[in-house]
Structure 1
């Protein structure tokens, strides 16, 4: 049996394709001729007898038959391509234009027949129902079925209202959780009621109406009653037109109620359009006979444009939301949303018009165009919802100051951007499902320019999500590290640097730059590869360029490698005060090849890592500050020691300074004796960057304590001994002038002695 089937199939192929098989030698071999003479006659399939064909097929295997069949099919396909060449770009544009203008032209041509064809449809309806009396009976039965459905829904919703508390507290402003809880319970109750309504309609309809009546009644109830009610439930959930305290979007009562009414009306008009098309087709009127559906569909898009332009003030406020930190992008989106809605409506109308002109109406009958337009119009609203959710989901700001505030804002924006990308992907998948397009198949096939573009876009999307995720994680860790250090304006104004950052806060900026660069390079190459471009030459070229840069920029390589080893050794951190070869300052910023030092007087020094011979860090772990006080010779050192000890104990319990001390302020006794008085020194150990504020407070407290204890600070005095000065009253005016001149000369000499160069503001910490 298998041999007979193979013979029939092969004979049919030979007769249909008239294959010019120049296989004389093969045929002769299979038929047993065995001749290999070049002058032997060529045997074509037309000359072969059925017995010869049967003998040849009998000797061939299944693989040989399959290979021969595929060869002939490829040959026929190639000939078909030669006969019918592909259309050029200009021809495609012309075809699209003709398809676009044909429906409007048909509307003008067929409009005079509109009333006639609708009369025909109505007459056929009367014929199916048995006249006006039958139509009235049908409408009455439909009304009875609706009453049964509404009654069932009312009973269920009343029962749920008694079991579940639905009322929200009207006193005070509702939290987001309270508002969402109430609105979600109400929405689920309405949806459950609609489900009960639908089930009751089906049961009652099958019991009361005949199959012919159901054909008329089912679309009527679905498109004109059930769909508008579903849209009303969704609109009440988002807009809450009668509950401004529970409203999820930022819009006033007037525009909320306006949008609610018109959105329900818009869904009703779209449902009526779909119903009238199906009704005319069921009543014997061809879909393209009047183009009534196309005219009603156009009215839907006009309605969308009118709503968007009329309520543009409310839509702009709703899009902007209540975010206290809107970006310029958010403001542009809010301002342009009404015009975006008009553009979406116009674009959908153009798409529907072209599809009608090309005769592709299957997806339109299922409402894919309305579904697509609704999703596109909802994308900015979804964006507003994302920003609102992020505002409540993002953890509160950690710490205070500009660093913490900037980190908090950047975290919010990263979450918003990630949410936008995910929302856009979900919307595209839903639109593809509406038009019966499988994105996964496109991603797997990797064939054709459309598939390559899709793969390129998806790679860019995943790369962007990875980029934002890495930035979000590193920025959050960096903000946590910086705010945990208690960085403040006082630290920035410190004489020689503020509190030092942690090792992680120093390395994280470089990690962020490295991660972003790596993600851009890797996903960029993958995206280019998905376009069908071979990236091997790019990789080879990058290697050659890197080698050339390595040889031509050895100094740059030295700086980078030196910086890596400095970071590994943890030689410095952001905020620490360091000195390198006479250049001093607080580490303000680090990069891959250099660091920036901010001197306490303001100048900024940029120093490559490769030029650092040695580095001295004055802010690592702890700082000892030694203070000198000069008191008169007759001062009791033990009394001063007790005063210093009391000041140190008082500051240890002061909440402003308690956490900054490592060792309390105490006296070190008499350090030196000079010609003015005794030099008594005190010291304390503190955290780096905190010593300057502590020093100022200690000076104030020592001054107050000395004044309270009757201790004066020693001052330099000049005593001039002049013989005979005890008889000052008996001196002549010339002698008094000489004495005054001697006193002035002594004072000048004393002033010159005090102006000895010493340590100033530029001295090193701890001197």
Structure 2
């Protein structure tokens, strides 16, 4: 009858817990001292009365009892989860507040029992080792083992120093030289610690009993091994005795302070873990005294004190030595000490909440310490990223503002990519510390935490792709601009400077299109990872695009026209063009329009769809022709020689020789008018360079004509008075002089003709 009742009770519980088949099929633990036989298993779909009867018939009473207890626990957990899901937001907040305050109130209530409880644990420990003499023997043996380990380690290090002394190559002040020296020293320290560990392990097993080893192992690990390992790592980063090799930007005072107190912090954390284990093993469980709570709280107080005292050093460490810092770098440097305090207090609050909720499995493995360490390592990681970028980025290519701007932009992009990658790695490490599977988190999870993690990781990947694309396109654009020699002087020229290449014109549009595409794609993926169906978004975007297309036909016309203009290579950035009487250098192009900068400063924005015809004055080469009017009696051959000489001199001038495509030369007599002979010269030059060459040619011709006693022809009006000889012109009366002047003015006004229309081109 007993077995029959238990049989049907199991069937009822298994029916209620059919949602947990994996648990129902687990082998049953033994409740006695001897190992229990493996329990038979049964699947929920096979739960017929005959199958249940056969399964229970093969179970012992202990196995049946364990199965019932497991089902009761599962049912209780299911009920608790259901009740939690039914809570309102304020009820959940109230539950979290209760979980946060419960451990603190419990620790305060048990504070009077702290000292007596620790004393009891110590007394039990002394009694277990045979009294004070036994404890003294234990610590004496441990000291002996440690002394032997230290001696062997010192001898090994001395031998390595004699074999090869650590030095820095003379004149090697680079990051590689500093890291190489510090890394070699760090590896020697690690090797010495390994030797120390191996020796004390061998010697300890030889002279200590198993009971003594059970105490000595954790004691040495948490209170000696971990602090020494931390000291080696902090000496590598801080180099407190070698300011010339220090990897972080901090002075000697703060380097020694941080190195010393980081070791002290690790020692305190190790003491917390060891002390809780020590009291528990010696008959005083942690909940009786809450020693672990107070020691753990002291760790966070210690972190806050370090951040508060060394805030100036931490700011310098975050700021680094790179001169090309941004406002964000400065804000982050100033905020880091307070960020460290916030991380410490937030971790303390998280630990209290988890203890109040009874979820202490990860805390026992130190997940909170790993999380806090990774977050507090931000200055070291950030400084390392900026230092690596500063020393590994290629040197600036070329000279001028374009090259300098490209160099700084490249550094900042690489730093941002490094930061985002570091954030992603830190998130993965934190997830692993809390026993969260990255693959499961990246899949479609039902929990909001899974969705948020996938959302953040999608944004991280998208940002890396965004920055990487921008970095590549900007570097190509800067290389094109630098190779073409584009500068501010070119932009200030009368009709634009040197034209950009076709690639330098298309790349800005390609960058804009790539950025927009990346933002849309990864934005939709990120929203989808939050559990939101993006199909309506895509459908709505398609309908909105169709509506915009019908309502903005001119916009579509502008975009399509711009695409064909770019395909035809009708203009490039920097070229001087004319569009329907509007003239200027192409300063900027966008998807639907272009901006022309007139040589007087005005900026004209011209949509592509409104360009009927485009005249380009800066494509490939430009010929400039100069006219000079000289008197009729001037020898044209003499002027030809002067022009040829000037052309040769300018070809040898380093300021102009690279700008000529054909030298300046004479074209002979171009025209003869009533003033004199018109002599013309010409030269071919690179677009944008002709105006500086023209100015220099004018100066040289003026000087050469003055040296050769050649005058420029001037327009004159001669008035002949019938019946009066020229020698009597000085004897004219005032009325006659006024009459002659009026006649000359009339002739001059007739020669000028009507007002001419303004000529095209720059004034």
TM-score by length of 1: 0.86
| Unaligned 5+ runs, structure 2 | 1-5, 17-47, 55-69
Tell me if 1:159 matches 2:154.
Answer: no
Tell me if 1:399 matches 2:398.
Answer: yes
- Determine the structure 1 residue equivalent to 2:42: none
Q: What is the SS of the residue equivalent to 2:628?
A: strand
- Determine the structure 1 residue equivalent to 2:658: 659
- Determine the structure 1 residue equivalent to 2:35: none
Once the two structures are superposed, what CA deviation does each residue of 1:5-43 show, in whole Å capped at 9, x if it has no partner? xxxx99997576689xxxxxxxxxxxxxxxxxxxxxxxx
Task: Work out whether residues 252 and 314 of structure 1, in 8 Å CA contact, stay in contact via their aligned partners in 2.
Answer: yes
Cα distance between partner residues in 2 of 1:200 and 1:757: 110
Task: Work out whether residues 446 and 455 of structure 1, in 8 Å CA contact, stay in contact via their aligned partners in 2.
Answer: no
Cα distance between partner residues in 2 of 1:482 and 1:329: 28
- Determine the structure 1 residue equivalent to 2:138: 138
Further displaced range: 720-729 or 403-412 = 720-729
Change (3 A) 1:761 1:455: farther
Once the two structures are superposed, what CA deviation does each residue of 1:494-530 show, in whole Å capped at 9, x if it has no partner? 1112111111111111111111111111112222222
Task: Work out whether residues 173 and 245 of structure 1, in 8 Å CA contact, stay in contact via their aligned partners in 2.
Answer: no
Cα distance between partner residues in 2 of 1:680 and 1:194: 92
- Determine the structure 1 residue equivalent to 2:701: 702
Cα distance between partner residues in 2 of 1:754 and 1:499: 41
Q: What is the SS of the residue equivalent to 2:377?
A: helix
- Determine the structure 1 residue equivalent to 2:36: none
Q: What is the SS of the residue equivalent to 1:145?
A: helix
Root-mean-square deviation (CA, aligned residues, Å) is 3.2
Instruction: Please show how residues 215-614 of structure 1 align to structure 2 within 5 Å.
Output: 215-444=214-443, 446-614=445-613
Cα distance between partner residues in 1 of 2:718 and 2:572: 54
1:364 CA drift (Å): 2.6
Change (3 A) 1:564 1:153: same
Tell me if 1:168 matches 2:165.
Answer: no
Cα distance between partner residues in 1 of 2:386 and 2:639: 63
Task: Work out whether residues 719 and 744 of structure 2, in 8 Å CA contact, stay in contact via their aligned partners in 1.
Answer: no
- Determine the structure 1 residue equivalent to 2:147: 147
Cα distance between partner residues in 1 of 2:328 and 2:342: 19
- Determine the structure 2 residue equivalent to 1:726: 727
Cα distance between partner residues in 1 of 2:595 and 2:368: 58
Q: What is the SS of the residue equivalent to 2:296?
A: helix
1:592 CA drift (Å): 1.1
Change (3 A) 1:578 1:10: farther
Task: Work out whether residues 236 and 260 of structure 1, in 8 Å CA contact, stay in contact via their aligned partners in 2.
Answer: yes
Task: Work out whether residues 420 and 460 of structure 2, in 8 Å CA contact, stay in contact via their aligned partners in 1.
Answer: yes
Instruction: Please show how residues 25-64 of structure 1 align to structure 2 within 5 Å.
Output: none
1:376 CA drift (Å): 0.5
Q: What is the SS of the residue equivalent to 2:288?
A: coil
Once the two structures are superposed, what CA deviation does each residue of 1:82-114 show, in whole Å capped at 9, x if it has no partner? 898422144433332222222222222222222
Once the two structures are superposed, what CA deviation does each residue of 1:600-631 show, in whole Å capped at 9, x if it has no partner? 22222211111111111111111101111222
Instruction: Please show how residues 3-42 of structure 1 align to structure 2 within 5 Å.
Output: none
Cα distance between partner residues in 1 of 2:311 and 2:222: 28
Q: What is the SS of the residue equivalent to 2:83?
A: coil
- Determine the structure 2 residue equivalent to 1:36: none
1:724 CA drift (Å): 4.3
Once the two structures are superposed, what CA deviation does each residue of 1:552-602 show, in whole Å capped at 9, x if it has no partner? 211111111111111111111111111122222111111111111112222
Cα distance between partner residues in 2 of 1:442 and 1:301: 30
Cα distance between partner residues in 2 of 1:353 and 1:653: 82
1:129 CA drift (Å): 2.1
- Determine the structure 1 residue equivalent to 2:189: 190
Once the two structures are superposed, what CA deviation does each residue of 1:729-762 show, in whole Å capped at 9, x if it has no partner? 8x4xxx3645754675577568657867899996
Change (3 A) 1:658 1:533: same
Cα distance between partner residues in 2 of 1:18 and 1:386: 57
- Determine the structure 1 residue equivalent to 2:679: 680
Q: What is the SS of the residue equivalent to 1:627?
A: strand
Tell me if 1:115 matches 2:112.
Answer: no
Cα distance between partner residues in 1 of 2:118 and 2:50: 63
The total of aligned residue pairs comes to 709
Further displaced range: 420-429 or 9-18 = 9-18
Q: What is the SS of the residue equivalent to 2:443?
A: helix
- Determine the structure 2 residue equivalent to 1:86: 83
Once the two structures are superposed, what CA deviation does each residue of 1:400-447 show, in whole Å capped at 9, x if it has no partner? 333333322222221111111100111111112222222212223533
Q: What is the SS of the residue equivalent to 2:669?
A: strand
TM-score by length of 2: 0.86
1:668 CA drift (Å): 0.7
